[in-house]
Structure 1
Amino acid sequence: MSTRNYNKDTNGLEKMRALVDAPKIVMLATQLNKTPFSVCPMTLQEMDTQGDLWFFTSKTSSHFTDIQEDNRVQIIYTDDEKKRYISIYGNATHIVDDQKIDELWNPMLNTWFEGKDDSNLALLNVNMENAYYWDTQHNKLVSFFKIVEGAITDKTPDLGEHGHIDMQDH
């Protein structure tokens, strides 16, 4: 597996776009300074043009309160089908923006909210600072055969790429 690192201004944003699909259920960790930290599943709605991640949240949720106290978050993104795994660190902000709510809203959200006008509805915006990724590109069976081939031929198999993406503006 090869290693490749990026900065936001040197193709890092494009790499994140290539890796991240939305909507997608991810794990959002808050209270990073405590053991154990708090974790909950969230649906990633989009990654916008600046690279920010957008979620819907309830003002009564524990992670909403956690972010008011400490806005540092960790997002664990897995895509078993595409064999992509990402750990994203960033800062979260609560946002009330009716235009953005209209843009991102879909009827499935009625499961958790009483429509777009729900008084508990808020947006959560995560500004990514750093990400670590593993993009294996191949399914398990192909990877298995590449490993066997590498063992027989003494060649290092290409099992994909992993690395770090610094998403901060420099």
Structure 2
Amino acid sequence: MSNKNDTKDKNGVKKLKALIDGPKVVMMATRLDKIPFSVCPMTLQQVDEQGDIWFFSSKDSSHFEDITFDNRVQIIYLDDDNQIYISIFGNATHVEDDKKTDELWSPMLNNWYNGKDDPNLVLLSLNVENAYYWDSEENKLVSFFKMIGGAISDGTSGFGNKGEINLQNY
């Protein structure tokens, strides 16, 4: 049986996992076919070994319905402390899996759900196709002075790294 992740580029998965540091609130855009598209904050729970991103959601949420209609999703990830910014695109799937729910569950989630057995609780798995990142490997103060220096000199700051992360291995 073929798995959707059998063709994932392992270097892309490794890079994505290195950039994303644990659970974090991100902005998830759905209904990318309409303007304005729908946006909501979501807590990213995990980037698994296959490069899929996991979230908890509610079956009665608007994004649950949006994903049923059109499963294309854009995630905007911001980590100001480490100056890492990522735009992630992929396809989301609703998943009901008690084992995965147990693995990812945290008591903090009781603020939004009535426990792990909440009948409206569902997992969202985002099969990442590609991402684009901006990453400053230095602290904010050094980065700030490099940006200022670049603006004063020739306009190049030597500030951080950026690039595409393609998780598809064609």
Length-normalised TM-score, structure 1: 0.89
Task: Tell me how far 1:128 sits from its aligned partner.
Answer: 0.3
Matches of 1:113 and 1:137 in 2, distance apart? 37
Matches of 1:149 and 1:43 in 2, distance apart? 36
Matches of 1:16 and 1:123 in 2, distance apart? 20
Corresponding residue of 1:125: 125
8 Å contact kept, 2:9–2:166 = no
Segments ≥4 residues shifted beyond 3 Å: 147-157
Task: Tell me how far 1:153 sits from its aligned partner.
Answer: 7.3
Matches of 2:101 and 2:145 in 1, distance apart? 47
Matches of 1:33 and 1:155 in 2, distance apart? 37
How many residues were matched structurally?
163
8 Å contact kept, 2:71–2:91 = yes
8 Å contact kept, 2:10–2:167 = no
Matches of 2:148 and 2:124 in 1, distance apart? 45
Unaligned runs of 5+ in 1: 1-7
Give the root-mean-square deviation of aligned CA atoms.
1.8
SS of the counterpart of 1:99? helix
Against the structure 1 CA distance between its residues 56 and 157, is the aligned structure 2 distance closer, same or farther, given a 3 Å change threshold?
same
Query: Quick one: which amino acid aligns to residue 166 of structure 1?
Result: N
Matches of 2:145 and 2:121 in 1, distance apart? 49
Task: Tell me how far 1:139 sits from its aligned partner.
Answer: 3.1
Against the structure 1 CA distance between its residues 112 and 153, is the aligned structure 2 distance closer, same or farther, given a 3 Å change threshold?
closer
Task: Tell me how far 1:159 sits from its aligned partner.
Answer: 1.1
Q: Deviations over 1:85-142 (max 9, x none)?
A: 0000000000000000001001000001100000000000000001000001223321
Against the structure 1 CA distance between its residues 151 and 67, is the aligned structure 2 distance closer, same or farther, given a 3 Å change threshold?
closer
Bigger relative CO (Cα 8 Å, ≥ 6 apart)? 1
Against the structure 1 CA distance between its residues 141 and 118, is the aligned structure 2 distance closer, same or farther, given a 3 Å change threshold?
same
Against the structure 1 CA distance between its residues 10 and 57, is the aligned structure 2 distance closer, same or farther, given a 3 Å change threshold?
closer
SS of the counterpart of 1:117? coil
SS of the counterpart of 2:13? helix
Query: Quick one: which amino acid aligns to residue 95 of structure 2?
Result: I
Matches of 1:58 and 1:11 in 2, distance apart? 33
Give the % identical residues.
64
Task: Tell me how far 1:158 sits from its aligned partner.
Answer: 2.6
